[in-house]
């Protein structure tokens, strides 16, 4: 049993405790520790990717209690990849937050940030549904603190909405877990996968209710229609670097749907698989439409970026909802891309807010300092988000369109994705031209351009994200072959189940 | 007994949902609290209702009467988490009330509000 698997949870937890207890008054030390901790997490991500690369499913039994009695952490290709993605985004975001001075605008930014990383890593690794609930709560409670970082009345009010919405989600999660436990008698995912097949009679209906409720909880997390109401206001009001990290948080919901469906519900019975797939597809197409129309109708860059996240979740789920191995691979590629692109867009939004006299609202304002660089970054981010060539959004959408070709409603998905892309291009072009081109002369006596904060580190971190998107495009071949293997592993859940349940014999 | 517990959970949930849908933060927080009570009882019932039985196996064959201990542990975790979350949301609502002098849940989307969000 390798102890590497628990380190992505333990390391941020320890780091956060040190930050909040010992270093609370030393911002410089906090920055050093937080960056070092995030670099170490990225290193762990590489190690875990290497461990999972050959297709082995590694299991870590907490307290050496064998499954299904104890809680297990499970590492497979998908978990390792999501961890690596989280660590990469986190590293960029923490560098940006330090470079732009966001971490100095309130207390405990770095401690909350590390707790958030702990929650996300745990959610990707756990093999137990109740433990997944606990890690969801960890990442949510840290996100509440991060969301209101820097204070301000509007941010606090948006925070109240966000917290109450998510508390309702948590309650729903517990209802779903209770139903599933009552029906199957277990909370271990692998064990449950083995038991759902044997459920007959009246319990099938209960199982279905539990599965749909669970799906609803994950839909809240991934902002699927009609449960997306929390997202635009939250993401637009949150500090933009935090919103960039939240781009990973919506993917936690997508990951959970993919994991739970492929492992537990997909093979349970056909009627159930068809129902879940149909519900998800309908929600995904509506989400896609609302997200893309929201991009066009936004009144500021912050809301534009928030709706871009919703639109990308819609695109992602419209492929995932088909639930075949091919669509899973395409979904995962788009997931990598949309996380990077969404984070990049939020960093650009923050650069605009920091420099432009009128904030990020669509109103004429004097030219901003360092405008050329920010404009260029926005141009890159917009191309990536819209999914135009030459960046990876294009490759991702192409893979999705190709993967859903044999699905019964392929024409509808094609129409929605292509139409949505067109609307998104219009919306992004409108946003860019109204923010960067529609200038007015500065008021008398005012300096010719707005404030010019330090740009070296913020721009560097944004360029790292852009570079990652370019790399994802250039190395699309190797990446997709890795993702094909990942999807194949997801759709052969027997390896996962026997790794978890059989490990008491080996160990 | 099952009917009584089910009625109790139903009433708590209905009251909780009604309160959460109110426009001010205080009733909404009360609603969240009621919902978390309801879900705790519901979790407890997921291990089947049993009277006067210990939460451990008494003889090793498993033949003796016992009540499922796992939901009790789950309820304990859920209580701790919902208690912490309620504290967070109370503080947040207080902060929002003190800095905007209003405890309404909805946002007013005027041009000034947009500007404030950008700062």
For residue range A233-272, list pLDDT tens digits in order: 888 888 888 999 998 989 999 999 999 998 888 877 778 8
At B113 the pLDDT is 47
State how far the Cα of A399 lies from the Cα of A329, in Å rounded to an integer. 9
What mean pLDDT is predicted for residues A299-319? 92
Confidence of residue A449 (pLDDT cuts 50, 70, 90): low
What is the token pair recorded at A431? Answer: 């946003």
Instruction: Say yes or no for a CB contact (<8 Å) between A300 and B118.
Output: yes
Instruction: Say yes or no for a CB contact (<8 Å) between B95 and A164.
Output: no
What mean pLDDT is predicted for residues B14-29? 92
DSSP string, chain B: -HHHHHHHHHHHHHHHHHHHTSSBHHHHHHHHHHHHHHHHHHHHHTT---SS--SS--STTS-S----SHHHHHHHHHHHHHHHHHHHHHHHHHHHHHHHS--BSSPP--HHHHHHHH-
Instruction: Say yes or no for a CB contact (<8 Å) between A302 and B118.
Output: yes
- pLDDT tens string B27-55: 999 999 999 999 999 998 888 888 888 77
Distance from CA of B13 to the nearest CA of A (A): 10
Distance from CA of B4 to the nearest CA of A (A): 18
What mean pLDDT is predicted for residues A211-223? 92
Is A443's pLDDT higher than 70?
A: no
CA distances from A355 to A148, A298, A454, B69, B118 (A): 21, 20, 10, 58, 11
| Residue B6 touches chain A, beta carbons under 8 Å | no
State how far the Cα of A486 lies from the Cα of A332, in Å rounded to an integer. 9
State how far the Cα of A485 lies from the Cα of A401, in Å rounded to an integer. 20
At B115 the pLDDT is 44
* Residue numbers in B near A167 (CB within 8 A): 32, 36, 82, 85, 89
| Residue A106 touches chain B, beta carbons under 8 Å | no
Distance from CA of A505 to the nearest CA of B (A): 22
Q: What is the mean pLDDT of chain A?
A: 89
At A25 the pLDDT is 86
**ipTM higher than the 0.95 cut:** no
CA distances from B11 to A164, B17, B27, B47, B50 (A): 20, 10, 16, 21, 22
Helix (H, G, I), strand (E, B) or coil at A330: helix
What mean pLDDT is predicted for residues A122-140? 93
* Residue numbers in B near A149 (CB within 8 A): none
The C-alpha torsion from A97 through A10 and A146 to A378, rounded to 10°, is 40
Nearest-CB residue to B96 (from A160, A167, A181): A160
* Residue numbers in A near B47 (CB within 8 A): 181-182
Closest-CA residue of B relative to A133 is: B78
Instruction: Say yes or no for a CB contact (<8 Å) between A359 and B115.
Output: yes
- pLDDT tens string A348-384: 999 888 888 878 888 888 878 788 888 999 999 999 9
Is B109's pLDDT higher than 90?
A: no
Is A121's pLDDT higher than 50?
A: yes
Confidence of residue B108 (pLDDT cuts 50, 70, 90): low
CB A18 within 8 A of CB A448: no
What mean pLDDT is predicted for residues A447-466? 80
* Residue numbers in A near B85 (CB within 8 A): 137, 141, 163, 167, 170
Is A84's pLDDT higher than 50?
A: yes
At A450 the pLDDT is 62
Instruction: Say yes or no for a CB contact (<8 Å) between B117 and A155.
Output: yes
| Residue A239 touches chain B, beta carbons under 8 Å | no
Is A157's pLDDT higher than 90?
A: no
* Residue numbers in B near A174 (CB within 8 A): 39, 42-43, 78
State how far the Cα of B119 lies from the Cα of B113, in Å rounded to an integer. 10
Phi-psi label, residue A368: left if phi above 0, alpha if psi -120 to 50, beta otherwise: beta
| Residue A364 touches chain B, beta carbons under 8 Å | no
| Residue B62 touches chain A, beta carbons under 8 Å | no
A408 burial class (0-12, 13-18, 19+ CB within 10 angstroms)? Answer: exposed
**What's the farthest any 2 CA atoms get from each other in chain B?**
71
For chain A, counts of helices (H) and of strands (E): 20, 2
| Residue B84 touches chain A, beta carbons under 8 Å | yes
Is B64's pLDDT higher than 80?
A: no
Which range in A56-65, A265-274, A349-358, A421-430 is most confidently predicted, on average pLDDT?
A421-430
- Token pair 């199982």 is at which residue? A207
What mean pLDDT is predicted for residues A203-222? 91
| Residue A361 touches chain B, beta carbons under 8 Å | yes
What is the token pair recorded at A412? Answer: 């509808």
| Residue A170 touches chain B, beta carbons under 8 Å | yes
Is B118's pLDDT higher than 50?
A: no
At A416 the pLDDT is 92
Mutate to test the interface with A, among B92, B103, B106, B116 (most CBs of A within 10 A): B92
State how far the Cα of A353 lies from the Cα of A240, in Å rounded to an integer. 9
Quote the percentage of chain A above a pLDDT of 70.
97
| Residue B53 touches chain A, beta carbons under 8 Å | no
Distance from CA of B67 to the nearest CA of A (A): 13
What is the token pair recorded at A177? Answer: 């877990």
């Amino acid at each position: 049993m390798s102890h590497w698997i628990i380190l992505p949870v333990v390391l941020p937890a320890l780091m956060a405790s040190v930050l909040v207890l010992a270093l609370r008054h030393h911002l410089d030390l906090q920055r050093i520790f937080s960056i070092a901790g995030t670099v170490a997490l990225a290193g762990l991500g590489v190690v875990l990717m290497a461990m999972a690369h050959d297709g082995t499913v590694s299991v870590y039994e907490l307290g050496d209690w064998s499954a299904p009695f104890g809680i297990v952490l499970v590492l497979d290709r998908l978990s390792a990849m999501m961890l690596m993605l989280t660590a990469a985004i986190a590293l960029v975001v923490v560098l940006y937050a330090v470079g732009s001075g966001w971490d100095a605008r309130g207390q405990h930014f770095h401690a909350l940030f590390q707790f958030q990383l702990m929650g996300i890593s745990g959610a990707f690794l756990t093999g137990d549904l109740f433990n997944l609930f606990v890690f969801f709560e960890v990442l949510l409670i840290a996100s509440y603190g991060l969301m209101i970082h820097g204070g301000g009345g509007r941010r606090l009010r948006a925070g109240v909405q966000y917290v109450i919405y998510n508390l309702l989600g948590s309650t729903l999660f517990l209802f779903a877990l209770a139903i599933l436990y009552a029906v199957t008698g277990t909370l271990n995912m692998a064990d449950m996968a083995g038991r759902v097949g044997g459920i007959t009679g009246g319990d099938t209906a209960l199982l279905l209710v539990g599965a749909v409720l669970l799906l609803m909880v994950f839909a809240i997390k991934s902002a699927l229609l009609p449960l997306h109401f929390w997202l635009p206001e939250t993401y637009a009001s949150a500090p933009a670097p935090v919103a960039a990290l939240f781009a990973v948080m919506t993917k936690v919901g997508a990951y959970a749907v993919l994991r739970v469906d492929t492992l537990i519900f997909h093979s349970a019975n056909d009627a159930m698989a068809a129902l879940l797939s149909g519900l998800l597809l309908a929600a995904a197409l509506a989400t896609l439409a609302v997200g893309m129309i929201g991009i066009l109708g936004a009144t500021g860059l912050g809301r534009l970026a928030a709706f871009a996240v919703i639109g990308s979740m819609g695109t992602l789920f419209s492929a995932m909802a088909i639930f075949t191995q091919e669509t899973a691979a395409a979904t995962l590629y788009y997931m990598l891309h949309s996380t990077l692109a969404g984070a990049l867009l939020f960093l650009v939004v923050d650069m605009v807010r920091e420099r432009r006299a009128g904030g990020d609202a669509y109103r004429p304002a004097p030219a901003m300092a360092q405008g050329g660089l920010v404009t260029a970054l926005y141009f890159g981010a917009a191309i990536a988000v819209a999914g135009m060539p030459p960046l990876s959004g294009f490759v991702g959408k192409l893979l999705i369109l190709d993967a859903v070709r044999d699905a019964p409603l392929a024409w509808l998905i094609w129409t929605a994705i292509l139409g949505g892309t067109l609307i998104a291009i219009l919306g992004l072009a409108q946003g860019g031209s109204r923010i960067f081109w529609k200038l007015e002369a500065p008021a008398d006596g005012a300096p010719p351009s707005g404030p010019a904060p330090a740009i070296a580190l913020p721009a560097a971190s944004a360029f790292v994200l852009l570079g990652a998107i370019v790399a994802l495009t250039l190395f699309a071949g190797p990446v997709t072959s890795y993702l094909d293997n990942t999807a194949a592993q997801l759709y052969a859940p027997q390896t996962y189940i026997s790794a978890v349940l059989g490990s008491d014999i080996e160990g | 007994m099952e009917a009584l517990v089910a009625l109790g959970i139903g009433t708590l949930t209905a009251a909780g949902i009604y309160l959460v849908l109110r426009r001010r933060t205080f009733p909404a927080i009360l609603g969240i609290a009621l919902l978390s009570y309801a879900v705790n009882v519901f979790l407890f019932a997921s291990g089947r209702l049993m009277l006067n039985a210990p939460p451990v196996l008494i003889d090793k064959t498993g033949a003796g009467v016992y009540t499922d201990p796992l939901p009790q542990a789950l309820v304990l975790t859920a209580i701790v988490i919902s208690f912490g979350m309620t504290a967070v949301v109370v503080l947040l609502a207080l902060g929002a009330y003190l800095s905007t002098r209003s405890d309404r849940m909805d946002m007013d989307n005027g041009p000034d509000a947009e500007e404030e969000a950008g700062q």
